[in-house]
């Protein structure tokens, strides 16, 4: 029982270091737009995973464990690509969970 409790605490602490942010993007309308943003974010050293959803106009970005993703950097990448940021929020789901949710719809 103690081993199970320790394992649960360890797994939770490993996952709690990553942060996922969901960014609502204005002006993103084509697959080329999505590819460009995905490539820009993946080249950032603190980004673990990226998901771009054209239908719902958002980008989900997950940081590497123990790293953060600055909102100013996010805004800069998006505005330099020619789009506007409507909203940035921290979400509890991982990028994989978000991708699975929207891919299954």
Q: What's the pLDDT score for residue 67?
A: 86
For residue 59, give the CATH number of its domain: 3.30.70.100
Q: How many domains is the chain partitioned into structurally?
A: 1
DSSP state of 88: E
Q: Tokens for 15?
A: 């996952």
* Other Cβ atoms within 10 Å of 32 Cβ, number: 9
Angular region, 72: left φ>0, alpha ψ -120 to 50, beta rest:
alpha
For residue 11, being part of any structural domain is answered with no
Q: Tokens for 12?
A: 């939770």
- Which residues constitute the domain of residue 71? 18-103
Q: pTM for this one?
A: 0.80
With beta carbons less than 8 A apart as the criterion, state whether 40 and 77 touch: yes
Per-run averaged pLDDT (10 residues), the chain, 105 residues: 47 62 93 90 93 95 89 94 95 95 83
Q: What's the pLDDT score for residue 5?
A: 45
């Amino acid at each position: 029982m103690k081993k199970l409790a320790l394992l649960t605490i360890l797994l939770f602490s490993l996952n709690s270091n990553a942060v996922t942010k969901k960014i609502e993007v204005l002006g993103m309308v084509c697959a080329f737009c999505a590819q460009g943003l995905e490539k820009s974010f993946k080249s950032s050293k603190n980004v673990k995973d990226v998901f771009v959803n054209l239908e719902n106009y958002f980008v989900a970005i997950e940081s590497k464990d123990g790293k953060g993703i600055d909102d100013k950097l996010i805004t800069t990448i998006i505005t330099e690509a020619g789009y506007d940021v409507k909203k940035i929020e921290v979400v509890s789901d991982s990028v994989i969970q978000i991708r699975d949710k929207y891919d299954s719809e």
